[in-house]
């Protein structure tokens, strides 16, 4: 297949869906010298595209046939529409207009198993299809996102020059790479979002400790996040959190964050991550609890009633030491939790790579997450180095440098968890991280008792130490005694 930037007349790339993300990414391509076209049923979105792109080679269409005909062949078309039935509807509308050899890309947050089915159906019709996760939000799409394409490698090679041009750059290297066959791209984006859920919950719990435990006001909280973001905790999520605690609407005398309802919604990718991890029998407890806490937040009326019954008054002396000393421990706790959250996500990717034959290169995934995406952070350099040095690393926590970082931060983690739990401050993600760490470093878990219990009540059998593959059953009731 020829490169997308060939000598044929017409636009080299088409975008279906000119909402914020689709329009921003298309304009990014046009800024880099590519002739591009967009389609949307909403004429107002086309007007915005052409107004914002009046100085570059971009054109909007409200006619799908005209849009398709405007593209050079083989056509390269990306869909950036809501995941689910809408994707199938767009594909159905496109099919009569496409020729064999054309390329169709799903750039939304589609469920990876749906991507697998679509790829198989379109391949049978002679079309090239792949799913690509895109992270970075509106600003990322406009200035440089992180992109995770997977599936038809030959099709990706056609559009690779475009994606490498528009991707975020770290050390001059584009934050995009071919992820792997099948639905690998959408799977990796799903796990990216799962990690995002975990990190956001940890930041929210840190806010809870700062607000309720240390009783800091928004200005002081802003300074904590600002300072952290200038050190080893540097990340996009801390950066935006820092900014949130300074924002006041025009004419207002207080911060907007205090007016925001404490109900967190979601679009499903965190739930998918938890569900898939359970199907693969691999624990990701920080992501699990982050999903659960978003769900619990929706029960606002129930929480208000419970608060009337159970006192939320903290005991005096939340931290027995100075505020500065406790904040140092809190920084350690967050760093420790960040390490374990990324470790859980990378472990899931490793397991899925084998289960689905995705052939994932974890170092390259960490590499493209260093810039453009929502979970970009300084720590990703350590993850990249760990997997680059040892591609078959069984778990991130086994890396020598990462293990040293975790052990150095562990005392602060334990101190913060103890203080919060004793005071009744809810920190489920922090405690999940610590429980995961203490369990994974436990050579002899108490699971032998669970095996015995299952055999006792259900004759499920059990295994013995040193006798692999031997399954026994015991009548655990002692002989009756006269």
Q: Please give the tally of structural domains in the chain.
A: 3
Residues 157 and 198 in one domain: no
Regarding whether 70 and 112 lie in a shared domain, the answer is: yes
Q: What are the pLDDT digits (tens) for 170-205? A: 999 999 999 999 999 999 999 999 999 999 999 999
| For residues 256-266, average pLDDT | 91
Regarding whether 221 and 133 lie in a shared domain, the answer is: no
The lowest-confidence range among 264-273, 395-404, 438-447 is 264-273
Select from 182, 202, 234 the last residue of a domain: 182
50-54, 300-304, 463-467 — most confident range: 300-304
Do 193 and 176 have their domain in common?
no
CB 187 within 8 A of CB 116: no
* Residue 135 maps to a domain: yes
- CATH number at 201 reads 1.10.1040.10
Specify whether 196 is catalytic. Answer: yes
| Residue 319 in this model has a pLDDT that exceeds 80 | no
Residue 5 maps to a domain: no
Q: Does the residue 389 lie in any domain?
A: yes
pLDDT at 470: 73
Establish if 256 belongs to a structural domain: yes
What per-residue confidence (pLDDT) applies to 317?
59
Query: For position 320, what pLDDT does the model report?
Result: 65
What is the per-residue pLDDT for 4? 44
Same domain, 261 and 293: yes
Whether the per-residue pLDDT at 481 is higher than 80: the answer is no
The pLDDT assigned to 252 comes to 86
Q: State the pLDDT confidence band at 311, using cuts at 50, 70 and 90.
A: confident
Q: Let me know if residue 369 belongs to a domain.
A: yes
Q: Write down which residue in 161, 182, 203 finishes a domain.
A: 182
pLDDT (0 to 100) of residue 482:
45
In a domain, 8, yes or no: no
What is the pLDDT confidence band of residue 480, given thresholds at 50, 70 and 90? very low
pLDDT bin (cut points 50, 70, 90) of residue 6 is very low
Choose the catalytic residue: 196, 205, 276, 331.
196
Query: How much of the chain, in percent, has pLDDT values that exceed 90?
Result: 85
Residues 128-148: tens digit of each pLDDT: 999 999 999 888 899 999 999
Which domain covers residue 215, as residue numbers? 189-440
The answer to whether residue 468 is domain-embedded is: yes
> Mind listing the pLDDT tens digit for each residue in 351-362?
999 999 999 999
Q: What is the mean pLDDT of residues 378-397?
A: 97
The CATH number that applies at residue 474 is 1.20.5.320
Answer yes or no: pTM beyond 0.75.
yes
- Same structural domain, 199 and 146: no
Question: The tokens of 269 are what?
Answer: 């990718």
State whether 193 and 178 are in the same domain: no
* Domain's final residue, options 182, 215, 245: 182
Residue 1 lies in a domain: no
The residues facing 71 across adjacent strands are 11
Per residue, what are the HEC states of the chain? CCCCCCCCCCECEEEECCCHHHHHHHHHHHHCCCCEEEECCCHHHHHHHHHHCCCCCEEEECCHHHHHHCECCCCEEEECCCCCHHHHHHHHHHHHHCCCCCEEEECCCCCHHHHHHHHHHHHCCCCEEEEEEEECHHHHHHHCCEEEEEECHHHHHHHHHHHHHHCCEECCEECECCCCCCCHHHHHHHHHHHHHHHHHHHHHHHHHHHHHHCCCCHHHHHHHHHHHHCCCCCEHHHHHHHHHCCCCCCCCCCCHHHHCCCCCCCCCHHHHHHHHHHHCCCCCHHHHHHHHHHHHHCCHHHHHHHHHHCCCCCCCCCCCCCHHHHHHHHHHHHHHHHHHHHHHHHHHHHHHHHHCCCCCCHHHHHHHCCCCCCCCECCHHHHHHHHHHCCCCCCHHHCHHHHHHHHHHHHHHHHHHHHHHHHCCCCHHHHHHHHHHHHHCCCCCCHHHHHHHHHHHHCCCEEECCEEEEEECCCCCCCCCC
- State whether 363 and 477 are in the same domain: no
Residue 88's pLDDT band (cuts 50, 70, 90): very high
**What's the pLDDT at 153?**
92
Per-residue pLDDT tens digits for 202-236:
999 999 999 999 999 999 999 999 999 999 999 99
Are both 200 and 143 inside the same structural domain? Answer: no
313 confidence band (pLDDT: 50, 70, 90): confident
Check whether residue 50 and residue 170 sit in a common domain: yes
pLDDT at residue 150 tops 80:
yes
Q: Report phi then psi at 233, rounded to 5.
A: -85, 5
pLDDT at 401 over 50: yes
Average pLDDT, the chain: 93
pLDDT surpasses 50 at 7:
no
Query: Rounded mean pLDDT of 449-453?
Result: 93
Q: Are residues 230 and 81 located together in one domain of the fold?
A: no
Please give the pLDDT value at position 316: 62
Same domain, 163 and 37: yes
User: In this structure, what CATH number is given to the domain that contains residue 48?
Assistant: 3.40.50.720
Active-site residue identified among 45, 59, 189, 271 = 189
């Amino acid at each position: 297949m020829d490169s997308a930037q060939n000598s044929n007349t017409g636009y080299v790339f088409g975008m279906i869906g000119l909402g914020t993300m689709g329009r921003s990414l298309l304009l990014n391509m046009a800024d880099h010298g590519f002739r591009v076209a967009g389609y949307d049923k909403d004429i107002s979105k086309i007007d915005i595209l052409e107004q914002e792109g009046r100085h570059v080679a971009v054109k909007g269409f409200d006619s799908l046939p005209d849009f398709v005909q405007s593209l050079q062949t083989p056509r390269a078309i990306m869909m950036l529409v809501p995941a689910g039935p809408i994707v199938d509807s767009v594909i159905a509308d496109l099919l009569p207009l496409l020729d064999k050899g054309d390329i169709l890309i799903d750039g939304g947050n589609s469920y990876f198993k749906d991507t697998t089915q679509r790829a198989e159906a379109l391949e049978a019709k002679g079309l090239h299809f792949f799913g690509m996760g895109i992270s970075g939000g509106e600003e990322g799409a406009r200035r440089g996102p992180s992109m995770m394409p997977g599936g038809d490698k030959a099709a990706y090679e056609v559009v690779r020059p475009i994606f490498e041009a528009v991707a975020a750059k770290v050390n001059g290297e584009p934050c995009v790479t071919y992820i792997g066959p099948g639905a690998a791209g959408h799977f990796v984006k799903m796990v990216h979002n799962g990690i995002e859920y975990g990190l956001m919950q940890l930041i929210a719990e840190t806010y809870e400790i700062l607000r309720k435990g240390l009783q800091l006001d928004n200005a002081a909280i802003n300074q904590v996040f600002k300072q952290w973001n200038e050190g080893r905790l540097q990340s996009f999520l801390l950066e935006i959190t820092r900014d949130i605690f300074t924002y006041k609407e025009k004419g207002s005398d207080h911060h907007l964050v205090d007016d925001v309802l404490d109900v967190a919604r979601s679009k499903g990718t965190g739930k998918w991550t938890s569900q898939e991890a359970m199907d693969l029998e691999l624990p990701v407890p920080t992501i699990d609890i982050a999903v659960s806490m978003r769900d619990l937040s929706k029960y606002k009326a129930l929480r208000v009633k419970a608060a009337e019954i159970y006192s939320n008054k903290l005991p005096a002396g939340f931290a027995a030491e100075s505020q500065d000393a406790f904040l140092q421990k809190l920084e350690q706790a967050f760093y420790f939790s960040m390490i374990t959250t990324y470790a859980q996500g990378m472990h899931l990717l490793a397991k899925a790579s084998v289960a689905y034959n995705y052939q994932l290169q974890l170092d390259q995934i960490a590499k493209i997450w260093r810039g453009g995406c929502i979970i970009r952070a300084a720590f990703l350099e350590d993850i990249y180095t760990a997997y680059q040095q040892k591609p078959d690393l069984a778990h991130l926590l086994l890396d020598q440098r990462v293990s040293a970082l975790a052990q150095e931060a562990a005392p602060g983690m334990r101190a913060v968890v103890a203080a919060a739990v004793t005071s009744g401050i809810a920190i489920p993600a922090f405690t999940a991280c610590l429980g995961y760490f203490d369990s994974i470093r436990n050579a002899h878990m108490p699971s032998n008792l669970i095996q015995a219990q299952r055999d006792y009540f259900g004759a499920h059998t059990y295994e013995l130490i040193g006798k692999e593959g031997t399954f026994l059953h015991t009548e655990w009731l002692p002989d009756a005694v006269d």
